[in-house]
Amino acid sequence: MREIIKKAAKTNNLTEEEITLLLENSSFNGELFAAADFTRKQNVGDGVHLRALIEYGNICQNNCFYCGIRAAKKDVKRYRLDTETTLKAAALAKNLGYKTIVLQSGEENAAPLNEFLQIIKEIKNMGLALTLSIGEKTYQEYLAYREVGADRFLLRIETTDENLYQTLHPGMNLQNRLRCLKDIKKLGYETGTGIMVGLPGQTAKSIAKDILFFKELDADMLGIGPFIPCPGTPLENEKGGSLETALKVMAISRLIMPKINIPATTAMEAIEKNGRIKALQSGANVIMPNVTPQNERKNYALYPGKPGILQTPEEFLNSLKQTLSQIGRFVSQDAGMSLNYRPIEK
């Protein structure tokens, strides 16, 4: 196992079988996490990039079995922020020193395109980098967002196992999601994807295939989090994923893709106190503080136990800075472009 970890750190390559072995064996977790932390430090440094998260809306047309805002969940109070509210949240983030905004929403096709394009323009006029995480769209829509200034796009694949994907995502199609990622990459976005770890029916081998898919895609950023069962969904009674396994997936991904951006996700904190700190010490270099208006945060409930709902953005930032200093890290002062990113050739 030590030889596999050394190989990953030295060559940034592993086979499916080697990744599977690392995932199935917990005896060397400390060495794996330490190697990922060292690789992170050597390649992207000690700065932690902050992305101000605006949960733009929770309206969704999909019925993913694990999701707390799935279309069939009738007890969700649906909302979509108006332009003024969205831009006010972005301005607050800028005033707090954030250099990047993440606009995240449920996957809906009814949102007015022109209004959304205007929001993108206005955020870009503030001098901020912009990441979108709004789901599957047409090539023309991705192009329109890009033409008015969107820099990055995050579209998690959740699993590349076609049978598992179809089971968990009724009415959706893995091939279309892959098409979307290819379109995003082709248009020159910094391209992000990721998976949920611990889904019912998921195996170490299928996760190994997911990790190799990240490398094949040449992803610039990865969002990796544990599966957390949500009440009122088809998977509410299933066993949740573990922080340990999610950290291992993240650490292996860092070793074979040393220059990418990897968030310490909120879901990690939701299942274990200091989960985000453990992630930062196992390869992560990004945190996404929430600047969504507090009256709507509780309605963007993808899973139960979401931390920080009652904290103001100012309180969170002050607390985070103190915590980072305690582990020898600091808030980066730039927009945090992925060092893995290579602009498309014209």
pLDDT of amino acid 310: 87
Q: Which residues contact 222 (CB under 8 A, 6 or more apart)?
A: 192, 193, 194, 214, 250, 253, 257, 260, 261, 262, 263
Quote the CA–CA distance of 229 and 318 in Å, as a whole number. Answer: 31
Residues 6+ away with beta carbon under 8 Å from 229: 66, 235, 236, 237, 238, 239, 240, 303
In this prediction, residues 321-332 reach a mean pLDDT of 96
Give binding residues for S-adenosyl-L-methionine as ranges.
Answer: 158, 177
Give the mean pLDDT of 262-284.
96
218-257: pLDDT as tens digits? 999 999 999 999 999 999 999 999 999 999 999 999 999 9
Least confident of 169-173, 230-234, 259-263, 341-345: 341-345
pLDDT band at 345 (very low <50, low <70, confident <90, very high): low
Residue 185 has pLDDT above 90, yes or no: yes
Res. 343: pLDDT tops 90: no
Q: What is the pLDDT of residues 11-68, one digit of tens each?
A: 999 999 999 999 999 999 999 999 999 999 999 999 999 999 999 999 999 999 999 9
CATH match for 2-329 among 1.10.357.10, 3.40.50.300, 3.40.50.720, 3.20.20.70: 3.20.20.70
Instruction: Summarize the annotated binding site for [4Fe-4S] cluster as residue ranges.
Output: 60, 64, 67
pLDDT digits (tens, 9 = 90+) for 82-108: 999 999 999 999 999 999 999 999 999
Can you give the residue ranges of every domain in the chain? 2-329
- Segment 278-295 shows an average pLDDT of 97
pLDDT exceeds cutoff 60 at 346: no
Phi and psi dihedrals of 109, rounded to 5? Answer: -100, 0
The binding site consists of 60, 64, 67, 158, 177
Question: What digits encode the pLDDT tens for the residues 102-127?
Answer: 999 999 987 789 999 999 999 999 99
Q: Which residues of 132-168 are buried (b: 16+ CB within 10 A; e: fewer)?
A: bbbbbbeeebbebbbebbbbbbbbbbbbbbeebbeeb
CA distances from 41 to 259, 281, 287, 307, 328 (A): 10, 10, 16, 27, 11
Average pLDDT, the chain: 96
Mean pLDDT of 139-164: 97
Rounded to whole angstroms, how far apart are CA atoms 121 and 70?
29
Amino acid present at 16 = E
Residue 272 burial (C-beta neighbours within 10 Å; 0-12, 13-18, 19+): middle
pLDDT confidence band for 308 (50 / 70 / 90) = confident
Rounded to 5 degrees, what are φ and ψ at 139?
Answer: -55, -40
